[in-house]
Chains A and B, each alone.
Chain A
Amino acid sequence: MYEQLLQYLITGITVGSAYALVGLGFAIIYNASDVVNFAQGEFVMIGAMSAIFLNAAGIPYVLSIALAVAITAAVGMALEKFAIEPARNASVVSTIIITIGASILLRGAALLIWGKDIYGLKPFTGEETIHIGPATLLPQNLWVMGCTAVSVFLVKYFFDRTRTGKAILACSYNKRAAYLVGINVKKMLLISYGLSACLGAVAGILIAPITFFTYNAGVMLGLKGFSAAILGGMGNPMGAVAGGLMLGLLESIGAGLISSGYKDAIAFIIILLVLFLKPSGLFGKSSWERV
């Protein structure tokens, strides 16, 4: 029993790390603009697919990864510049619908560029299985966990310690006030889309060697990341990270101890229960509108 549980935990944390990064991307954009960006999953796919194809085209491994992240960030910023910004006077709901449209567009573009085939990326460092007691893991699992931890730390540092990070937070509290104290709101929004896209790309590239990618692989990952952000409390970046890890663990342990057939159902039922008891999510600040 114990030996199995350890394996479930390792699997859960690996899968959960990816969810956490995607969820973090959701939370950052939500923080800056109250918008849920449904193209987040597509960022994950674009990051992974770009890395795979750049690498296959003969570009050195590390460089192709860096380029892939840059490409995805550019796509994220272009999305903000050409789709979100022109509609800046639209309601939040309209903007969310624009992001759904953007996700369909990006998926379609990926289909045209890369076709319908399935692709994999070779792992960062070898495929030698590592044994931890009775459980096993791949070096890539460690990379996923480690890089996620570093990314989360950097994001936290960015928001807590840098002027730009604080400026983005200020935009989320009150756009008009932020504007009045001289913050370039447009630029902050652009940065948050770029940052979210970066995180998505990192998530995609990290898990690409473990799983495989197709043009539509972003859909499910986006959904899981969204659930993670909701579970942790939308608007709380660290909550989204915790939510992602919890979701991964719930799925893995639920599948292991109860039934793999109800794996997704178990996770979603628990999310629903949490939301019934605490509608703003586990770590979300409760908010209400004064009438």
Chain B
Amino acid sequence: MYRTMIKGLFACMLGISSALVLTLSAASAVHASGTIKIGSFLALTGPASFLGDPELKTLQMYVGEINQKGGVLGKKLELVYYDTSGKAKVAKDVVKRLIKKDRVDLIVGGSTSGTTLAVIDIVEREKIPFISLAGSIRIIKPVKKWVFKTPHTDRMAAAKIFEDMKKRNISKVALITGNGGFDKSGHAQCLDLAPKYGINIVADESYNNADTDMTTQLTKIRATDAKAILNFGFGKAPAIVTKNVRQLGIKLPLYQSHGVASKKFIELAGDAANGVRLPAAALIVAEQLPDNDPQKPVLLSYKKKYEAKYGPVSTFGGHAYDGLFIAVEAIKRAGCVDKAKVRDEIEKTKGFVGTGGVFNMGPDDHLGLGLDAFKMVEIENGAWKLLY
């Protein structure tokens, strides 16, 4: 009985492994016939999957579309991707695999700053063009030869917020942030930038992202002479902060970061969200942009295609759109997939209109977005309103 079971198991395993060998050889056969291989590593599961999910969908949708139109340089694009669950260690392993085993021509991916920063060493050593989809400014500052990125940085968000405060003659600000990576990085950028805008941080409170109530911190803020509150974070915590501010009857202007630029925030915070100001990518206010805005057609087309296929767009998927098309344009200009040439062409990206803004890269700017890429938005009657 047992023996037959073991035999059966063995046969199964043999079957599976031969099937594996077959698919593997099939995969390499495709490569031999000449495709352009785009490697990607994304946080498809785990806490950061809200980033990786729309990014993968966007990449798949546009790779399919490009291939339907005949590919790039007469070759089909092939997307090879792995899930990192947002873990740095996994990211290192899969990026090595992308480079050494799958022999991809370039990499577009890295949903989180942690996974991106972890693979920079490998990418630099292996000399392969890499466009990251993560936020941190540390990815491109100092400039790394082979590393580029498409999303706005938290530093830009802080700068945009301070710019708006200055316009409203606010100079005393209370800062409240969570304990996550995004929060901490944003916190550091705020403290660093505030003096440059003549802004005085009069209170610096923090909370745990899993906390259920922030009225204590806000009560403390209420007792200071702050003229505005700035909350840098994402997830449920900023929604709780927003509700708590209203509950305590605090009338100060409330600023949030680009981390809450999703419909979910308005849904969670409800009426309390009205009047909140935040910097956000143009995607969420695409319809409100003036018709002469170069981004408008790009945004509307992306939104239409994505929503027809998958449901509501997020700015994160937009970062993948930008990364993919910057890469494709660079390959077209280079006329081949030679890594050094493609890298040089990515660096020469000028006037590329993406979902994140108009990209103008250069040897000392591997992002290429200005502050105008962020729009200042206010929530009015439960909807985004473009301010400028």
- Taking Cβ atoms with an 8 Å cutoff, the residues of A that contact B are 4, 7-8, 10-12, 14-15, 18, 116-118, 120, 127, 129, 136-138, 207, 210-212, 214, 216-217, 219-221, 251-252, 255-256, 260-261, 263-264
Contacts and interface: CB of A to CB of B under 8 A. Distances in A.
B268 A118 contact: yes
Interface of B: 47, 49-50, 205-208, 210-213, 215-217, 219-220, 222-223, 235-236, 239-240, 246-249, 264, 267-268, 271
A128 B216 CA distance: 19
B219 A264 contact: no
B221 to A, nearest CB: 10
B206 A261 contact: yes
Contact of A260 (B47, B216, B235, B240): B216
Which of A116, A137, A207, A219 is packed against the most chain B CB atoms within 10 Å?
A: A116
B256 to A, nearest CB: 15
A157 B326 CA distance: 69
Contact of B236 (A10, A212, A261, A263): A212
Contact of B205 (A14, A118, A214, A260): A260
Given A120-B268, A211-B236, A214-B236, A7 B208 contact: no
Contacts of A18: 212
B236 A118 contact: yes
A220 B267 CA distance: 24
B50 A264 contact: no
A220 B210 contact: yes
A41 B47 CA distance: 18
Contact of B213 (A210, A214, A216): A210
10 contacts: A4-B219, A7-B216, A7-B219, A12-B216, A120-B239, A136-B247, A207-B212, A211-B212, A256-B220, A261-B205
B217 A260 contact: yes
Contacts of A7: 215-216, 219, 248
Contacts of B219: 4, 7-8, 11, 256
Contact of B216 (A120, A221, A256): A256
A93 B311 CA distance: 47
A253 to B, nearest CB: 8
The 8 nearest A-B residue pairs measured at CB: A220-B210, A211-B212, A212-B236, A7-B219, A260-B205, A11-B215, A118-B236, A252-B216
Contacts of B217: 255-256, 260
Contact of B223 (A4, A15, A251): A4
A11 B213 contact: yes
A269 B236 CA distance: 27
A4 B203 CA distance: 15
Given A8-B216, A118-B264, A260-B205, A129 B239 contact: no
A260 B267 CA distance: 27
B42 to A, nearest CB: 15
A255 B217 CA distance: 7
Nearest to A264: B208
B207 A263 contact: yes
A210 B212 contact: yes
B30 to A, nearest CB: 33
Contacts of A211: 211-213, 236, 240
Given A15-B212, A18-B212, A129-B249, A260 B220 contact: yes
A225 to B, nearest CB: 12
Given A117-B264, A261-B206, A136 B248 contact: yes
Nearest to B222: A4
A219 B210 contact: yes
Given A4-B223, A118-B236, A212-B240, A255 B216 contact: yes
A135 B67 CA distance: 63
Nearest to A10: B215
A255 B206 CA distance: 9
Given A129-B247, A211-B212, A260-B205, 4 more contacts: A7-B216, A8-B216, A12-B216, A255-B220
Nearest to A252: B216
B206 A260 contact: yes
A210 B213 CA distance: 7
A261 B217 CA distance: 10
B169 to A, nearest CB: 28
A252 B214 CA distance: 9
Nearest to A220: B210
Contacts of A11: 213, 215-216, 219
Given A7-B248, A211-B236, A211-B240, A260 B207 contact: yes
A207 B210 CA distance: 13
A15 B208 contact: no
Contacts of B240: 210-212
Contacts of A137: 247
A133 to B, nearest CB: 13
A116 B45 CA distance: 10
Nearest to A130: B247
A116 B210 contact: no
Contacts of B248: 7, 136
Contacts of A256: 216-217, 219-220
B137 to A, nearest CB: 23
A260 B222 CA distance: 14
